[in-house]
Amino acid sequence: MPGNDDKIKSALEIALEKAQRLGALSEDEKQRLKNEELAAAGEALAERYLNGLPLRDIEIELAGRAEQDRHITSHHLLNHLLDRIDVVPVERNDKILNAIQQLPGDSGIVQSIRDLIQEYESAIEKARHENLSALETAKRNELESKGISGSAVQPALETSPEWKQIRQNLDSHYQERLEEMRQKHKNSTESAHSVTHTEDKENTS
Amino acid sequence: MNLVDNFYAYLWPGVNMSELQTYGNNCNSYLVAKALPEDKHVLVDPGMVTNEARQNCLDRLISEMRKDGIEIEDVGLILNTHAHPDHYGASESIRRMSGAQVAIGRGDDDFLKLAGGEMANALKQMGFEFPELNPDFYLTEGELRLGQDLIAQIMLTPGHSQGHISIYWPKAKVFMGGDLIFYGSTGRVDIPGGNAQLLKESIERVAQLEIEYLLTGHQYGSPGIIVGADEIKRNFELIRKHIFPYL
């Protein structure tokens, strides 16, 4: 419009303005931004792995990055995979633990998690054994009161409110322990990662 | 509709191609009225809530039952012949309406739990979704006693699925076969969990029973109910001759 200084900016102009602002950033800010990008890349790789990307392809993608970038990406990839582990033993846990074990990084936690899951499974079996008979009898009585009985009837333990409570208590307990393990591992790897990053900066300055 | 005594049949449309195309897939449902204390009913294979043709299958079932003076809130027990969603899909919805107990064959509940993983992915590729099912009890080979004096024989009849059960009511000579056998055909065996040899063995076992009403899971272009011992026997012979060689 005549006399109007405002104009619609093109995508190129917007991109150039952003680049100019980036040029004005300090080294620390640039590194922070880069770290965020690498963290996002690590998490994206973790998701792609969980959705079926072979581990070999993950390794190739990591190998294609510069060393420091690889460390940061790998660190976030492993942390993201770690966050996806649950005490309920699902097939995905094995897939995740195998990846953590094979990718570069601290895999000491893998055996601890495997041990915890095994302990959890044993605890469930023990609880089932200790409570099965009583829960089954209670369910049979309930069904009989509703006119349902016979040799074809096998009460389903898993749906009884009592078993669900027992299970919930066990799940909470072991989930807490898993979370403590995760946090401890992350804290120790964050410290190691910071030390490495500081040393690299000192070497390059 | 009332079939015989206190047995009711709610057939899903599909007796010809036009119906199949219009109404899509769902199973036939069957009901034994006032089989339990407080005049509660037993419902076999409730079908789906809605199907791929966006038909409100459960609404239709409720409406048809109401025409017979039967309310969904009075269902006390749901028996599922197998864990395919077109048969068991509405179980939990009906439970919420009525407080009914829910049952299924143990083998098929295990299959459903497997279906939480790789099996589910394979079946989802084929277009299946699996609604939640939380059975109160499992059905296994043996006697199911209902109410004062009603007895059903639960038979393990794998083949269409690994834990498929069928229900034989000896006093009324009624057989509810799920997807084991249809009029002139059998259940498919090419879905994960299917087994042609087991299907044939299951059918041969059932062929030994005295049946006057053979109630099938679907009307795939043919009637869902076969009536009369002779007609049922002819159906078995036809299947042996024309279907077994291809299984």
Residue B141: closest C-alpha in chain A: A152
| Consecutive H or E run containing B143 | strand B142-146
- CA dist., res. B115 & res. B108, Å (int): 10
Question: Which residues of chain B lie closer than 8 angstroms to A147, CB-CB?
Answer: 35-37, 40, 76, 146-148
Contact B159, B198 (CB under 8 A): yes
Contact yes or no for B77 and A146 at CB 8 A: yes
Q: Does residue B151 surpass a pLDDT of 50?
A: yes
For A71-91, what is the HEC assignment?
A: HHHHHHHHHHHHHCCCCCCCH
* Residue ranges per structural domain of chain B: 2-246
pLDDT bin (cut points 50, 70, 90) of residue A18 is confident
What is d(CA B139, CA B142) in angstroms, rounded to the nearest whole number? 8
Identify the closest residue of chain A to B75 by CA–CA distance.
A146
Please list the helix, strand and coil fractions of chain B in percent, rounded to the nearest 5, in that order.
35, 25, 40
Local structure of B19: helix, strand or coil: helix
Query: Which site among B108, B134, B145 would you substitute to test the A interface, given the most A Cβ atoms closer than 10 Å to its Cβ?
Result: B145
pLDDT tens digits for range A62-110: 999 998 899 889 989 999 999 999 887 667 888 898 888 888 776 678 8
Tokens describing residue A89: 């033993």
Residues A129-185 pLDDT 10s: 999 889 999 999 999 999 999 999 999 988 788 888 999 999 999 999 999 999 988
User: Is pLDDT above 80 for B111?
Assistant: no
At B213 the three-state DSSP class reads: strand
Q: How many residues does chain A have?
A: 205
The answer to whether the Cβ–Cβ distance between B138 and A139 falls below 8 Å is no
B2-246: CATH architecture: 4-Layer Sandwich (3.60)
Test A148 with B137 for CB contact under 8 angstroms. yes
Provide ipTM, 2 decimals.
Answer: 0.92
Strand partners, B226: B214
Token pair for A135:
């829960």
- Chain A residue whose CA is closest to B140: A152
- B135 and A148 within 8 Å at the Cβ level: the answer is no
Q: How far is A90 from chain B (nearest CA, A)?
A: 8
For residue B151, which residues of chain A lie inside 8 Å, CB to CB?
A: 150
Contacts with A146 from chain B: Cβ below 8 Å: 36-37, 40, 76-77, 101
CA dist B169 and B173 (Å) reads 6
B221 CB contacts (<8 Å, ≥6 apart)? B14, B15, B16, B17, B20
Specify the 3-state DSSP secondary structure of B49: coil
